[in-house]
Amino acid sequence: MKEIVIATKNSDKKRELTMLLKGTGIRIISLDKYPAYPKVREGSKSFRENAVRKAMAASRFTRKITLADDSGLQVNALGGRPGIRSSRFAGTNATYAQNNQLLLKLLKGKKTKQRGAQFICVAAICDYPKLVGVVEGTVKGGIALAPKGKSGFGYDPIFIIPRYKKTFAQLGPKIKNRLSHRAQALKRAKRLITIYFNSKAQ
C-alpha cells in the first residue's frame, strides 16, 4: 500500500492534514507511530526552510515519503509578525489562547483597516534524500477585535475572512478546509504526491 508520513505530532494539525489529504488512496501515517523520533528545531528564517527541514528529517528517520508543513500568521501592522514564531508567539509553551491574547493586545486601538493579515502555509514533500517538491498557500483576511467561534485551533478565533465577515472558528471546518492557506497548499501537494507515486510505480 502507498504510504506517506505527516511530519507532525500536533493532534489538531494532524487531523486537519489527514482530512485534506483524503481521496488520494494513500495511507496516512503520523509521527505518533514513531515515538523515538526527535524533535526538529525550527531555527530557519522562513516557512519554506522550516518545512523542508522537517520533511527531510522525518523522511530520513522513517525511510518513507514524508509531508511537512510550516505555517503561520503575518499581521501587516506588526511588520509581518508573528510569522514563523506563530505557534510560540507568547512563549515557547504558549497556549493558543495566550498567543491570541498577546496579538490582540498589540493591536489594541487599531481600526479595521489597520488589522490586515494573511495566513501562509508551505508544504514540502520529501523522499530522502530527494526533495519531491514545495508548494504554498495563502489566504488574506483581518484580525478581529475579540475571539469569536469555537471551531478550529490556533489563531482561527481571531482571523476574519472578509467575504463572510466571520472568523475561521465561526465558519467551521467545512468552509475552512475549502478556503484556508493549508487547504490551498495541500491541494497542490496532493497533485505532486499522486504524480510522484505514479512515477515510482512505472
Say which CATH number the domain at 71 has. Answer: 3.90.950.10
Termini Cα distance of the chain: 15
Question: 44: domain range?
Answer: 3-201
The Cα 66–Cα 128 span in angstroms is: 9
Residue 202 has pLDDT above 80, yes or no: no
Catalytic amino acids? 70
**pLDDT at position 43:** 66
The Cα 75–Cα 64 span in angstroms is: 36
Bridge partners (DSSP) of residue 85 are none
Convert the pLDDT of each residue in 104-113 to its tens digit. 999 999 998 9
Rg of the chain (C-alpha set): 17
Convert the pLDDT of each residue in 158-188 to its tens digit. 999 999 999 999 999 889 989 999 999 999 9
User: Residue written as cell 486601538?
Assistant: 109
Convert the pLDDT of each residue in 32-53 to its tens digit. 899 899 877 766 789 999 999 9
How many structural domains compose the chain? 1
